[in-house]
């Protein structure tokens, strides 16, 4: 249960709160991706996670830039959704008993995170526009496009991996 209320009584406060929550998302993903790379068997999948990690760091830096300008500081607010997604990924990795099946599971985990991010960033981008923060909206849009590309790349890789996983065991 929550001990303190963030007392969000206007759109600007909600906007800042959700930017800080997204910063937590990017930080949690930055921590999880090296483990996901380690657990991947496919070289192309490892590379996809590697470039996703690089992008994630840049996306966190974008949020810090926006927050520093807006609020004078950039501290995260823990994202519980991302924590749950990361925890579910760890379970899938533990349960997968075949390399290709594990890779298929990791792809689905990555895509789940990307779609969550696309949805969350979509909302804050709209709020940025409403609040007249056009430069923020442009930066946030850049991140949304990167998430979309990462998602498409994983779909491409999954075409091959899923076939291999189907033949497993």
Q: Which residues bind Fe ion (CB under 5 A)?
A: 56, 59, 117
Closest of 8, 7, 3, 16 to residue 127, by C-alpha: 16
Nearest to Fe ion of 100, 136 (CB atom): 136
Q: How far is the CB of 137 from Fe ion (least distance, A)?
A: 17
Q: Which residue is nearest to Fe ion (CB)?
A: 59
Q: Contact at 8 Å (CB) between 74 and 63?
A: yes
Q: How far is the CB of 47 from Fe ion (least distance, A)?
A: 17
Which of 158, 140, 149, 8 shows the shortest CA–CA distance to 61? 140
Identity of the residue, 21 or 165, whose beta carbon is nearer to Fe ion in the bound complex: 21
Q: How far is the CB of 106 from Fe ion (least distance, A)?
A: 16
- CA pseudo-torsion sign 62, 67, 68, 73: negative
Nearer to Fe ion, 126 or 166 (CB): 126
């Amino acid at each position: 249960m929550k001990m303190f209320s963030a007392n969000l009584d206007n759109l600007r406060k909600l906007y800042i709160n959700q930017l800080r929550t997204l910063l937590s998302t990017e930080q949690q993903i930055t921590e999880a991706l090296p483990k996901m790379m380690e657990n991947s068997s496919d070289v192309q999948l490892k590379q996809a996670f590697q470039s996703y990690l690089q992008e994630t760091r840049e996306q966190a830096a974008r949020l810090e830039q926006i927050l520093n300008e807006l609020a004078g500081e950039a501290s995260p607010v823990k994202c519980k959704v991302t924590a749950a997604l990361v925890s579910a990924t760890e379970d899938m990795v533990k349960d997968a008993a075949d390399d290709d099946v594990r890779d298929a599971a990791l792809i689905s985990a990555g895509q789940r995170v990307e779609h969550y991010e696309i949805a969350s960033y979509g909302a804050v981008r709209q709020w940025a526009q409403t609040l007249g923060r056009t430069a923020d909206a442009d930066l946030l849009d850049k991140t949304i496009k990167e998430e979309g590309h990462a998602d498409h790349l994983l779909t491409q890789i999954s075409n091959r991996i899923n076939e291999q996983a189907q033949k497993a065991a």
